Amino acid sequence: MKLTREVLRRINLLLLIFVLIFIAIYFICPWLSSFFTQNNHFDEPLIVRPHPSGYESTPKEDLEKAFQTSFLKLKLGGYDQRVPDLRQHLIYYGANCRPDSDTSTTFVRIGIRGQNKSYSVQALKKVYLKFQFGQGFGKWTLAEGEETTPFWLEVQPLEREAEINVYLQDTKGEIIRSPAELATFRVPVTPLPPQEQIAQAFEIGAYTADPALFSKMGAVWHGKDVIFEVFEKDSEKSEKELILFGRDGETYALWASPGDCFTYDNGRFQPVVLGPESTTKPLLRLTRRDDNILHFTLWDTTGKAQISIDLPKIPAPALNPNFPIKLLGARSRTKLIAELSHNRTLIQADEWLLQTKDGILPIQSQQLLEEYLNGQVQGTLLALDGIKKINNQSVLTGILIDPSRILWQEFSLPLYRSAQTNDQKDQENSDDDDDDTYDDSDDDSSDDVVDTNDLEEEEVE
């Protein structure tokens, strides 16, 4: 039989019809599709449909369903079940629990690379994750609310890093922890981005707690407190950093060393011993001291929000060696006649004189002394040390301390020799009775001004 061109055309047409019918039956009849996919190890068949781009792909809804069900319900036969590699996806921002909280409620802050937010989760508790498909390759996210998935991780905070343990549960309830290098790994701590710290801001008194909190509070750090370095070397404050807070007359001092904690109460930070009483207030801790920066961490009352605050060191202004005091004479070895801010008065040779914006104040009461030491009253301090003989001359000595209490220098002032006649002395006695601002009724010495050369010689240190 001779095959003509017309016969061949009809044969090709019949073959094309048979192929189209076969393809239609394959996709239309579920039992036939099941027959061809009966060797698949998925409990739920994953149907692959043509993609307009020419590559085989699965619609978003079917693929997400497959990931949440079929992919995680792989049968044990023939497939190597592995936990996904999260080492390049997770970010650890550190533990943000308060030092006074129970270790069983420690919170840590983690993030997922590529996302502009972080998550506060409880340490050593299950953190469920899921994979969301979208543009590109999709992304990992944390399950919301009470949602659970067969995939989770646990975070154990360490000193400068966190240990991550990854878990995967199959349909039989068995926990998959392989390969070992992906199931357990460590992530170094990463500083929290500034925008995240701002997002965590909370209220503390009249201020918003953020990285600029100390600036708003007028905090200034120059260094260690020279008062305790010079006069009380055995005091624990002599080794601490002095921080002065406040503006417009409302000032106070804070002494801190790394590890010290403070609560915010009654409008100021105050030292605290960690315990039940400290857990109800915002908590500040000096975490580290560098040469020129103090690093603090501030927690809210829940311990879930934390702020990192840096306080730079500011050089103290130069100390002015001139103190407005003029010696007019001596009543005795311990009582001197002086002119302070144009006021004639009687001072003790070992008295503390404080120069403030309101004038010179003799520190004669315990209240004023405590206000000065606590930073409530500030100014230049002249701490007198008595009269000594230097180069055959009577000299009033002491120590001059600047308002920031960081700089000090030795102070000395010669006593002028009295060259008065008896008539002049009588006139001065009369002036003392009328004009002087001191009361010398308890002075056993003579009313006459003592010649400074007659003062008992003291050893020069």
- Check residue 145 and give its pLDDT: 82
Angle (CA) 303 307 310, round 5° = 140
For 6-38, how does the pLDDT look when each residue is reduced to its tens digit (9 = 90+)?
Answer: 777 888 888 888 888 878 776 666 544 444 444
Query: How many helices and strands in the chain, by DSSP H and E?
Result: 9, 29
For 313-372, how does the pLDDT look when each residue is reduced to its tens digit (9 = 90+)?
Answer: 998 888 888 888 888 877 777 888 888 878 888 888 888 999 888 888 888 889 998 988
Q: Which residues of the chain have pLDDT under 50?
A: 31-58, 63, 66-67, 69-78, 417-461
Residues 372, 251: contact at Cβ < 8 Å? no
- How many CB atoms neighbour CB 365 within 10 A? 10
pTM: 0.58
Residues 317, 404: contact at Cβ < 8 Å? yes
Domain residue extents for the chain? 90-190, 195-312, 325-454
- Check residue 444 and give its pLDDT: 41
- Check residue 3 and give its pLDDT: 63
Contacts of 94 (CB under 8 A, 6+ apart): 108, 109, 157, 189, 190, 192
Structure token pair of residue 237? 């404050």
